[in-house]
Chain A
Amino acid sequence: MSGAPAGPPAAAERVLGWLLDGRNRPVVVGDFAEVYDDIRESRGRAAADAWYGFQIVRSFPPFVFNAVFWSSVMFRNYLKVFARNFRRHLGFSLINLAGLALGVGCCLLISLWVLDELSFDRFHAASGRLYRVESDEELSGQVRHGIGTPIPLASAMEKEIPEVEYATRFSRFGGLQLTIGEHSFFEGAVIAADPSFLKMFSFPLIEGSEDAALSAPLSVLVSKRMAEKFFAGGSPVGKTVRAENRFELTVTGVLQDPPSNSSLQFDWVVPFAFVDSRLNRMPEGWVNAVSSYARLRPGASTKEVAGKITALVHRHQEPGPKSSYTVEPITRIRLFSHTGRGLLARPVYYVYVFSLIGLFVLGIACINFMNLSTARSVERAREIGLRKVVGARRGDLVRQFYGESLLYVLGAAGLAFGMTALLIPAFNAVTRKDLSVGALAGPAPLAAAAGIVLLTVLVSGSYPSIFLSRLRPAGVLRGGGSAAGRAGFRKALVVVQFALSIMLLIGTSAVLRQTRFLMTKDPGFAREDLVLIPLRGGVAESYAALKAELAGSSSILGVTAMSRRPDMIGDYAQDVDWEGRAPGRAVRVSFAAVDFDFTGTIGLELAAGRDFSKDRGTDLKNGFLVNEEMARRLGRPDVLGARLSMFGREGSVIGVLKDFHFQPLHERIEPLVLLPAPNANWLGNIVIRLRPGNTAPALADIKAAWKRTVPAVPCEYTFLNDDLARTYWRENQMKSLLEFFTALAVLIACLGLYGLSAFVAERRTKEIGIRKVLGASEPALVLSLSKEFVGLALAACLFAWPLAYFLTRAWLDGFAYRVGPGPAPFLLAGLAAAGIAFATVGLQSVRAARTDPVKALKYE
């Protein structure tokens, strides 16, 4: 042999080594190398390489055969052992499965909700380039962010700003009275938009042309569902719809229904020109009155566009306070708009909170699984020991246990899918969503489900596989208490489980108490027996006649009218001034225009002065009522007679009303000024107080009076109290969901605890027997078994309290009026957890303590 022999190429050698059976690998590889060198010496390198390559190729079949054959044999064995264990401990296994199924199902429901929230407004083909123009308006020294923009802005933007491809105005303008054949009704879901609307958004037309559909002022587009409802059996295109009893609108197209994950919802679209020039419902000039949407060209900078819009508006606006403008991506409207303070500040926080809750519940279910699996490890230990003795490597065992948890989780996921499908209708009702079982089959939910399953397997399988695979066969087979030392970890898991449950309990109780507070808080007037009828379609002009008719009814205590509604006044005065007002100090003043009988009908109390009076002609011209908050702002000892001006109306304060809630309880009671409505056009709603207990006859009287006075207009009334649920729907939704998920979480935790304590009791059967023989009483035994778990529950409180405090505080901060966080819910949640632990474990311990000690000692 001459020179240094090179040996076969290193890469080839590695491949061959990898294909060879493990035990003799280095020696065999050495043999191959030696033969390779021999061949190379005698027949040259090429021959040696070819031979070596051939050796690699012919090692493949046995390698593949071995791998498949043995893994399938082991797989069948794992399955068999799994099935045996499942059957032998049917109770445990079912508890495990049920807990996991509930956890996964709960997670699945939440992810459907979250995915739906995240999908909002993403269905537009150009969703990445669609923006809403928003304004920062200066109002009495305060900057207010809003979505109002000047009416001429959209068309000016389209013409003057090159980056704007399309722009449209969008306004709900208070709805229309529509008459189609026999039907006459008020339709709120009407929007006014420009022709560009159809081009920039993806609201496809089923019938009609994009270019012509909104060009004539007297045209209307109808959604598919409304077309089916009102024009059944034929195309509506070309038919007419009567609006406000005055206009004949021609249907020029049928629109696909807006998807439920669109933040723009509507059933009818009329040209903006119709509202502007025919209905005359829009103010003149460049004041912020409608929303504007724009589609920008690809690559446009939003900052530059916003700057150009601001400059554009300032060029056209008259001197005075100026707004500045920004553009907000349409995909952020649903989740990132400002809606309040604290956790209510942006809707996206709800997405975070519910995702967190989903993870909590899943975490609790995973902990169950880990606990029950490791608790049983003592029994499994023999199996593991034996497997190791006959040659199982650690990797094999890890794979086996992950495989078992995968089987469990897959079974649970199957159950969870069924559960979700059953629960979706109820879930939809609570969340006001339109999720369907079919939605589960989409790629995103399936990906979410796969993610949940994977996460659950990883988390729940990790501890058993890592811990159990580490057992030493010698120790285990000799029967040493190998798992006893691991109880500490199980305890830690139980503490985590308790802590999560306690947090959910505290959160739920806070939300529960706050929603009850919202629904029952006395607003300062009797909310019951108040009926609201919107003054629409020219009814305002007949208000006086209507009021006279209604006054005759014995079932009606009072009739009045006002600009909005007593529980949501919502109008701010731009230019209020009073004697001694500190210049430059921002004060936001709400105002309402009211009819004379307002105070008495609503049932407000006067703190000082007198009510408006019809008999004094001066009240109509220059009387003002203020609330106590406004009186304080006036900053003088004697408020009555104080000079006040508003909209150029000079006058003086004639009375002070006690503070009442004229806004949702998220808001503080702000300064309020009431003035008598100068004419009927200021009035938006009739407010009628019914005689308590006389609802039915009163309603009949109202309908009859309405028919006599304004027969052409449909009478649509609501009860003020019923609208309360709508005002606080977000809070009510949060409450219902939290109740549901918390109940589920606690149930899952109970299941796990029950299983765990059953196991502990079983393990301690002998101990209990001996204790009994030595004279322990049953109560003492129960106590000794349950006190450990109760202690864990109490320890969990220490972790749960601060976090729960932080979260509930953040949520309650969104309300100006709220229940205090108080120590009671915290203590109660802790006690509840301890109580649940005691009850669950106690059940087991009683059974254990009752058993005959003779049987117990003979056990095994």
Chain B
Amino acid sequence: MKLLSRQEEIVLLSIWHLKDNAYGVTIREHISELTGKYWSIGAIYVPLDRLWEKGLVETRQGPASKKRGGRSKRFYQVTPEGMKLLQEIKHVQDVLWEGFPAALAEDR
């Protein structure tokens, strides 16, 4: 099983969440909302490139958009391998996290 970094994992999951509307700007917004941390626009592309190199995502050129100064969007989509890997990760995570308390206070 391929191991993903936490960043890559988050980005890959975000792409899956966003379905047909996963491109640079939306992915960044989604992650910023989820984690509450600031991600720079450029920074999002480092994990995206790695995911692409590993064949876990594929890209598709969108239509040219007026809003982007005439530039087209690059949409990302999770490949079947990506889906398979996500499932594996989820499985491992579930096993690893099993029985871990949701809130620390209750247990004390």
Residues of B near A55 (CB, < 8 A) are: 40-41
> How long is the Cα–Cα vector from A24 to B40 in the complex, in angstroms?
14
- Residue-wise, chain A 14-46 has the 8 Å CB interface mask toward B (1 for contact) of 000000110110111111111101000000000
B71 touches A27 (CB 8 A): yes
Nearest residue, chain A, Cβ from B71: A30
One of B65, B66, B69, B70 near A8 (C-beta < 8 A) = B69
Residues of B near A603 (CB, < 8 A) are: none
Interface residues of B in 52-103 (CB under 8 A from A): 65-74
- Residue-wise, chain B 28-69 has the 8 Å CB interface mask toward A (1 for contact) of 100000000000111001000100000000000000011111
> How long is the Cα–Cα vector from A816 to B96 in the complex, in angstroms?
108
Which of A32, A34, A55, A59 has most B Cβ within 10 Å? A34
Instruction: Report the minimal beta-carbon distance from A814 to chain B, rounded to whole angstroms.
Output: 73
Q: Quick check: is A641 within 8 A (CB to CB) of the other chain?
A: no
Q: Quick check: is A4 within 8 A (CB to CB) of the other chain?
A: yes
Q: Quick check: is A58 within 8 A (CB to CB) of the other chain?
A: yes
B67 touches A24 (CB 8 A): no
Q: Quick check: is A390 within 8 A (CB to CB) of the other chain?
A: no
> How long is the Cα–Cα vector from A31 to B28 in the complex, in angstroms?
10
> How long is the Cα–Cα vector from A1 to B68 in the complex, in angstroms?
13
A24 touches B45 (CB 8 A): yes
> How long is the Cα–Cα vector from A330 to B72 in the complex, in angstroms?
72
> How long is the Cα–Cα vector from A8 to B41 in the complex, in angstroms?
15
Instruction: Report the minimal beta-carbon distance from B25 to chain A, rounded to whole angstroms.
Output: 5
Residues of B near A27 (CB, < 8 A) are: 24, 45, 71, 73-74
| Tally of A-B Cβ pairs under 8 angstroms | 56
> How long is the Cα–Cα vector from A4 to B73 in the complex, in angstroms?
18
Residues of A near B72 (CB, < 8 A) are: 30
B66 touches A31 (CB 8 A): no
A31 touches B41 (CB 8 A): yes
Q: Quick check: is A5 within 8 A (CB to CB) of the other chain?
A: yes
A34 touches B42 (CB 8 A): no
Instruction: Report the minimal beta-carbon distance from A49 to chain B, rounded to whole angstroms.
Output: 15
Residues of B near A175 (CB, < 8 A) are: none
> How long is the Cα–Cα vector from A697 to B74 in the complex, in angstroms?
109
Residues of A near B67 (CB, < 8 A) are: 1, 5, 33-34, 37
Instruction: Report the minimal beta-carbon distance from B62 to chain A, rounded to whole angstroms.
Output: 10
Instruction: Report the minimal beta-carbon distance from A33 to chain B, rounded to whole angstroms.
Output: 4
Given A34-B68, A35-B25, do A21 and B42 touch, yes or no (CB 8 Å)? yes
Residues of A near B65 (CB, < 8 A) are: 30, 34
Given A4-B66, A7-B69, A8-B69, do A31 and B25 touch, yes or no (CB 8 Å)? yes
Instruction: Report the minimal beta-carbon distance from A557 to chain B, rounded to whole angstroms.
Output: 103
Which of B45, B65, B67 has most A Cβ within 10 Å? B67
A35 touches B69 (CB 8 A): no
Given A4-B66, A5-B67, A37-B67, do A32 and B41 touch, yes or no (CB 8 Å)? yes
Q: Quick check: is A136 within 8 A (CB to CB) of the other chain?
A: no
Instruction: Report the minimal beta-carbon distance from B99 to chain A, rounded to whole angstroms.
Output: 42
A28 touches B68 (CB 8 A): no
Nearest residue, chain A, Cβ from B73: A30
> How long is the Cα–Cα vector from A29 to B68 in the complex, in angstroms?
8
> How long is the Cα–Cα vector from A34 to B25 in the complex, in angstroms?
8
Q: How many residues of B contact A (CB 8 A)?
A: 19
Instruction: Report the minimal beta-carbon distance from B18 to chain A, rounded to whole angstroms.
Output: 14
A20 touches B42 (CB 8 A): yes
Q: Quick check: is A276 within 8 A (CB to CB) of the other chain?
A: no
Nearest residue, chain A, Cβ from B43: A62
A30 touches B42 (CB 8 A): no
Residues of A near B25 (CB, < 8 A) are: 31, 34-35
Nearest residue, chain B, Cβ from A5: B67
Instruction: Report the minimal beta-carbon distance from B74 to chain A, rounded to whole angstroms.
Output: 5
Residues of B near A13 (CB, < 8 A) are: 69
> How long is the Cα–Cα vector from A58 to B42 in the complex, in angstroms?
11
Instruction: Report the minimal beta-carbon distance from B13 to chain A, rounded to whole angstroms.
Output: 20
Nearest residue, chain B, Cβ from A32: B41
Which of B28, B66, B69, B74 has most A Cβ within 10 Å? B69
Instruction: Report the minimal beta-carbon distance from A518 to chain B, rounded to whole angstroms.
Output: 79
Instruction: Report the minimal beta-carbon distance from B64 to chain A, rounded to whole angstroms.
Output: 9
One of B28, B41, B71 near A26 (C-beta < 8 A) = B71
> How long is the Cα–Cα vector from A21 to B42 in the complex, in angstroms?
9
B69 touches A28 (CB 8 A): no
Given A4-B66, A24-B49, A27-B24, do A35 and B71 touch, yes or no (CB 8 Å)? no
Instruction: Report the minimal beta-carbon distance from A53 to chain B, rounded to whole angstroms.
Output: 14
A28 touches B24 (CB 8 A): yes
> How long is the Cα–Cα vector from A659 to B69 in the complex, in angstroms?
96
Which of A13, A24, A55 has most B Cβ within 10 Å? A24
Interface residues of A in 469-488 (CB under 8 A from B): none
B68 touches A58 (CB 8 A): no
Residues of A near B73 (CB, < 8 A) are: 27, 30
Residues of A near B68 (CB, < 8 A) are: 7, 30-31, 33-34, 37
- Residue-wise, chain A 51-63 has the 8 Å CB interface mask toward B (1 for contact) of 0000100110000
Residues of B near A24 (CB, < 8 A) are: 45, 49
> How long is the Cα–Cα vector from A27 to B28 in the complex, in angstroms?
14
> How long is the Cα–Cα vector from A166 to B23 in the complex, in angstroms?
85
Residues of A near B28 (CB, < 8 A) are: 31
Residues of A near B49 (CB, < 8 A) are: 23-24
Residues of A near B66 (CB, < 8 A) are: 4-5
> How long is the Cα–Cα vector from A729 to B42 in the complex, in angstroms?
75
Residues of A near B24 (CB, < 8 A) are: 27-28, 30-31
One of B23, B40, B45, B69 near A33 (C-beta < 8 A) = B69
Instruction: Report the minimal beta-carbon distance from A63 to chain B, rounded to whole angstroms.
Output: 10
Instruction: Report the minimal beta-carbon distance from A59 to chain B, rounded to whole angstroms.
Output: 7
A28 touches B41 (CB 8 A): yes
Given A23-B49, A35-B25, do A30 and B69 touch, yes or no (CB 8 Å)? yes
Residues of B near A1 (CB, < 8 A) are: 67
> How long is the Cα–Cα vector from A13 to B73 in the complex, in angstroms?
17
Instruction: Report the minimal beta-carbon distance from B69 to chain A, rounded to whole angstroms.
Output: 4
Residues of A near B23 (CB, < 8 A) are: 31
B69 touches A59 (CB 8 A): no
Residues of B near A30 (CB, < 8 A) are: 24, 65, 68-69, 71-73
Nearest residue, chain A, Cβ from B28: A31
Nearest residue, chain B, Cβ from A62: B42
Instruction: Report the minimal beta-carbon distance from A25 to chain B, rounded to whole angstroms.
Output: 10
Interface residues of A in 409-464 (CB under 8 A from B): none
Which of A7, A21, A31 has most B Cβ within 10 Å? A31
Residues of B near A33 (CB, < 8 A) are: 67-69, 71
> How long is the Cα–Cα vector from A30 to B24 in the complex, in angstroms?
9
Which of B25, B42, B49, B65 has most A Cβ within 10 Å? B42
> How long is the Cα–Cα vector from A24 to B66 in the complex, in angstroms?
19
> How long is the Cα–Cα vector from A168 to B88 in the complex, in angstroms?
105
Instruction: Report the minimal beta-carbon distance from A544 to chain B, rounded to whole angstroms.
Output: 108
Given contacts A7-B70, A28-B45, A30-B73, 10 further A-B contacts (CB under 8 A): A27-B71, A27-B74, A29-B71, A30-B65, A30-B71, A31-B23, A33-B71, A55-B40, A55-B41, A59-B42
Q: What are 23 of the A-B contact pairs (CB < 8 Å)? A: A5-B66, A7-B68, A7-B69, A8-B69, A26-B71, A27-B24, A27-B73, A27-B74, A28-B41, A29-B71, A30-B65, A30-B68, A30-B72, A31-B24, A31-B25, A31-B41, A32-B41, A33-B68, A34-B67, A34-B68, A35-B25, A37-B67, A58-B40
Residues of chain B touching chain A, judged by Cβ–Cβ distance below 8 Å, are: 23-25, 28, 40-42, 45, 49, 65-74
